Amino acid sequence: MLRTILRRAIATGPRSDGPWRLTATANYSSSKDTKSTVKKAKKSNKSKGEATAAADDDAYAGADADLFDDKGRARRLQADESDPSLDVGPNGRPLFTSTPTLAQLTSMDSCSYFKFKTEELNKVLPEGLPLGMVREFEEAMQSAVLVRQSFLDLRDNFRRVVDPPLGSARSKGSKVKKQIVLDGPVSCGKSTALAMLVHWAREEGWLVLYVPRGKDWTHGGFFYKNPQTGLWDTPVQAENILKDFLKFNESRLKQLLCQISDPIPLGEGAGVGWMKDGIDSMAMPEGSTLYDLVDTGIKHTHAAVGVVVRLRKELSLVKDIPVLIAIDQYNNWFTFSEYEEAVTVRSTRPIHAKELATVKAFRSMIHDDMMVGAFSHSTAVGKLRQDLPDVPSDARINFPRYTLDEAAAVCHYYLRQRLIRREAFSEENCKRIYYLSNGNGAEMRWLATFMREQ
């Protein structure tokens, strides 16, 4: 929305009293510009609808059209690609790392950007990217993420789980955690870090169940009560889960055998009711692979939920390759779902997420498998308890915000991506952006567009 306002402001032309020296309308600003006054003044500009002298129209239209004219900007970025001298980060360090894979990143590479190729990214993460990442790529017009020390620590933790370093394990400072919950303030990079972790794990060859939106499990589709288990089945959502799982891991699943041979309990199908003739379980043939199991769940909607529950058990029994369960928007699983149960004719009772069969199967962290959950502020969950049920007490870590160095790298990156005008850029402004947003990633991105020379 802001962009449309800005575009309109540009269309009406800047005021005649100089470039961007818009008068203050907010109480707290002085005659000098601040980001807030710019925002307010632009709004008032639009509402007043001034048409001022068009003398300096063209000049400013040219320079600032970058911000608002995506095509023009894309064109200029295209031209920039050939110029490597622009890729300079804070203190003259290179802005982009040259390491080819996430696995080879070291702490030397922190505070620099890692470029992804879009197709490759979509291939490795076919379930979808987290919203924050998508927005970032859109704004910067490039698929590059900042390498942060916090991500490297996360990755190293799981590396150590899989290959414990010989002998020097005791000397390592922090304990290796198999289950982690990423908590932290708004826009501090939790979902992005989780996505990068999944990317790295899949490159390493692990079997990863990635859930980019945990909210999908508790919202949407049909829900039926299963009298045998006493839980609520969500066949449509279960089917989606299985399909997502299959997207990347198909070939891998074909190599793994099922280890539990109990028949799968059947539930109510999506919109079709129970199976005829009272059949309530389906047997899996001997020697079927996990792929067959998942396929059965997709094909037979009655079996979807049962397959999901069975899959969870199977995943803990996989010994050949490391298994990682990565769930974003994990905090949605600790509150109520959108489903309700009719208690009387007139009133309903909201169903908690733990009463759903799918969620119940996957939510617990009290096990020996590797699991990462990331909280999200994008969903209206609110504040959760300090000690979550089924979560080990040391699993919850506070994901740190951006530091000053990381913020400087971010500003340089935006400069490179033509989000900030070159004349307006300065270290002082970078610092100001950082302190104003207090390390909030999305806000820094938004503020960067308003950077002015002072």
Partner 1 sequence: MLSRLLPKPSHFSLLTRISTKFHPCPHPQFPSPLQNPTFTTFLPRFFSAGGDGNNGQSPPDVWNLSKETDENFDPLFGESSGDVSGIAEADSWTKSTGGDEWETVPGFRPWSLGGEEDKGDDLFQVGDGVQTRTSVESDQEDEGKRIEEAKRLEKEEKELTAVLKGPNRAFGDLVAASGITDEMLDSLIALKDFRGIKGLPPLHEIEDIRYRKNTSKSSRADIERQKQEEVAKARVRLVDDKGRAYGTGRRKCSIARVWIQPGDGNFVINDKQFDVYFPMLDHRAAILRPFSETKTLGLWDINCTVQGGGLSGQVGAIRLGVSRALQNWEPDLRPTLKASGFLTRDSRAVERKKPGKAKARKSFQWVKR
Binding site for partner 1 (CB under 8 A): 26-30, 34-36, 185, 404, 428, 431-432, 434-438, 440, 443, 447
Closest CA to 391 of 422, 362, 412: 362
Nearer to partner 1, 93 or 432 (CB): 432
Residue type, 194: L
Residue type, 211: V
* Least Cβ distance, residue 436 to partner 1 (angstroms): 6
Nearer to partner 1, 113 or 450 (CB): 450
Rounded Cα distance, 305 and 313, in Å: 13
Rounded Cα distance, 195 and 128, in Å: 9
Nearer to partner 1, 36 or 99 (CB): 36
Q: Are 238 and 218 in contact (CB under 8 A)?
A: no
Rounded Cα distance, 273 and 360, in Å: 22
* Least Cβ distance, residue 276 to partner 1 (angstroms): 56
Query: Residue 326 belongs to what H/E stretch?
Result: strand 323-327
Give the CA count within 13 Å in the CB-facing half-sphere of 154.
Answer: 35
DSSP state of 88: B
Q: How many residues does the chain have?
A: 454
Nearer to partner 1, 388 or 447 (CB): 447
Angle at 156 between CA 445 and CA 250, to 5 degrees: 85
* Least Cβ distance, residue 220 to partner 1 (angstroms): 30
* Least Cβ distance, residue 34 to partner 1 (angstroms): 5
* Least Cβ distance, residue 46 to partner 1 (angstroms): 18
Give the dihedral sign, CA 289/291/295/298: positive
Nearer to partner 1, 8 or 377 (CB): 377
* Least Cβ distance, residue 36 to partner 1 (angstroms): 4
Which spans in 69-130 are helix H? 70-81, 118-124
Nearer to partner 1, 182 or 433 (CB): 433
* Least Cβ distance, residue 404 to partner 1 (angstroms): 7
* Least Cβ distance, residue 425 to partner 1 (angstroms): 16
Q: Are 405 and 360 in contact (CB under 8 A)?
A: no
Q: Are 195 and 208 in contact (CB under 8 A)?
A: no
Rounded Cα distance, 195 and 73, in Å: 28
